[in-house]
Structure formats: C-alpha cells, structure tokens
Chains A and B, each alone.
Chain A
Amino acid sequence: MLNFLYAWGAPKTFYHYSKVLSKGFGIVSILALLFGWVWGLCYSPSDYQQGDSVRIMYIHVPAAFLSLSIYAFMASCALVTLVWRIKIAGLLLKSAALVGLVMTLLALVTGSLWGKPTWGAWWVWDARLTGELILLFIYAGLLALDNTLGENPASDKIVAIICWIGLLDLPIIHYSVQWWNTLHQGSSLLVMAKPKIHASMLYPLLCSLLGMLCFAGWAILSLTQVALLKREYRQQWVKTLEFK
C-alpha cells in the first residue's frame, strides 16, 4: 500500500496512474456538469425571494468553493514540495494555480451577475466579494511569479514558499476585510441567508459541484502531465511513449 503511495511521487508511475485518473475525472465531469447544469437551469424551482436568479447559485457556489479548496490543495502541494522535496508536487502546484484563477474569476463574475438584479449593484465592497478579489490577485501574482522564473528548477520551491506565505496571510486578510467592512458598511444585509436548502435545489447543486471538482481535477492532472513531460523529455520512459 505504501509502495502505491510512493509510486505517485515517481515521474514515470505518476504519469501512467494520472492518465487513468484524469480520464476518469474527465468522463465524470462531463456527465455531472451536463446533468447538473441542465437540471439547475431548467428543472429546479425558482426561489421565493430571489426568483429565477437563484439558478446562478448552481455555478457561483461551486466556483467559490473550488477557488478556496484549490488554494488549500496548492498549499498542501507546497508543503510536500518544501518538506519532502517531491518535484511532482511542485508541478501540481503550478497547474492548480491556473485552474484556481479561472474558478475565482468565474465566482466573481457570476457573483456580480447575481448581485445586479438582486441588490441593484454590479459590485459592492462586501467582505466576501473583497476577499475573493484579493484571492484573485494572489493567484495572479503566483502565476506571474511562475511565468517570470521560467524553467528554472528552483522556481518550484520559490513558488511553494510564496504560496505558503499567502496561505498564512489568508485568514488575516479575511478577518481584516471583514472588520473593515463592518466598520464602513454599517448593517446593510448583503449576506445571502443560507437557510436549510430544499432537496430540489440541493441535488443539482451537489451535481454541479461534483462536475466542477472533477473538471478541475482533470485540468490540473493534464497540465501536470504536460509539465512533467516537458521536464523529463530526456528520460528513456518518455521516449517509449506512444502518442495518438
């Protein structure tokens, strides 16, 4: 069992295992996304208070959840890179940054589109929205850093260090933005109340979440495979690979 886990750290076995895994992720994601989005768009009921705009929730909530959990994933990859010096974790980190950026952007855009009809404004300096914007900047900064450092093998470690500093900073940012917001906003109720969600809305949400999660997994694994091939192209096992 432990050997199986160790195999994930070696480039060749990682490549072959992740090919299988990413194929699985891809199939599940297409099915779950189609199913969940069509269900959410057409077949789920509209909300009592928010009307049909609640259908945006089926995209916004999974995207926001993913933007945070991909950062957590990046932080754990960073830990593995720094402590155990496993190079593949560094590649996973960089691939995850791109996917995380897209998710954060999607969460912000769909949040604005949801906010316009319900609150009347495209953008408000709400605590959650501002925190999401800062997360977007952190992702963008990490990607820019990765881009600048280029193919340098030490860039893994540096991006990992900055990712960890960002992780340690995230709770501080979150709480200080919340504090700033309560001081300057007063008590306008902009938080979307989260009552117990009805089953007819919960299941499409879960489906969409599963689909987005698997899509993110597929994208991260595929990008990591490409980065791995680029780094290991001189190895014998790469030369024996067949491409369709």
Chain B
Amino acid sequence: MMCYLSELMHSKYALYVGGSYLTAAVSFLWVFYRVKSSQHHIQLFLKKSLQQPYE
C-alpha cells in the first residue's frame, strides 16, 4: 500500500484533516483522563473509609 501522507500534507485539506484527527485524539484523551481521575478519587475515598470502620 502506498503512503499518501506526503500528498496529504501538501493538499489544501491538510489543516482540516489534521484538525479533526487532533480533536478526536484530544476528546478520547479527555475521556481517558476522566475515567482515570474518577478511579483515583474512588481509591482515595475507599482507603479513607477503610480507616474509619465504624460509620
């Protein structure tokens, strides 16, 4: 399969295509960040609740 990357970079669509792939990557990374941070928060929360056994 030939690589079209050099053609793409010189075409007039380069910015738009690059922009949309960048947006996709950013949004997926943001979802990833949300998931990881909520997992981190719940770990902190559970550790704290383990230290207070009587509630």
A230:B45 contact, CB within 8 angstroms? yes
Q: Are A229 and B42 in contact (CB under 8 A)?
A: yes
Contact across chains for B30 and A43 when beta carbons are under 8 A apart: no
Query: In the docked arrangement, what's the CA distance between A46 and B7, Å?
Result: 10
Q: Knowing A51-B13, A53-B13, A229-B46 touch, does A222 contact B24 (C-beta < 8 A)? A: no
Interface check A109, CB cutoff 8 A: yes
Q: Are B30 and A102 in contact (CB under 8 A)?
A: yes
Does chain B have a CB within 8 A of A48?
Answer: no
Chain A 198-224, CB-CB to B under 8 Å as 1, else 0, gives 001000000000000001001100110
Complex Cα gap A194–B37 (Å): 40
Least CB distance from A33 to B in Å reads: 8
Q: Is A117 an interface residue (CB 8 A)?
A: yes
How many chain A residues sit at the interface, stated as a range, is 35 or more
In the complex, the answer to whether B3 meets A43 with C-beta atoms within 8 Å is yes
Chain B interface residue count, Cβ-Cβ cutoff 8 angstroms: 36
* Contact flags B29-55 to A (C-beta < 8 A → 1, else 0): 011101100110111011101100001
A151 at the interface (CB under 8 A from B): no
Residues of B near any A CB (own CB < 8 A): 1-5, 7-8, 11-14, 16-17, 19-21, 23-24, 27-28, 30-32, 34-35, 38-39, 41-43, 45-47, 49-50, 55
Beyond A52-B7, A110-B23, A223-B38, list 6 extra A-B contacts (CB 8 Å).
A215-B28, A222-B35, A226-B41, A226-B42, A229-B42, A230-B45
Residue numbers of A with Cβ under 8 A of B are: 33, 37, 41-46, 51-53, 55-56, 59-60, 63, 98-99, 102, 105-106, 109-110, 113-114, 116-117, 200, 215, 218-219, 222-223, 225-226, 229-230, 233-234, 238-239, 241, 243
- What 3 pairs across the A-B complex have the smallest Cβ distances? A110-B20, A53-B13, A52-B13
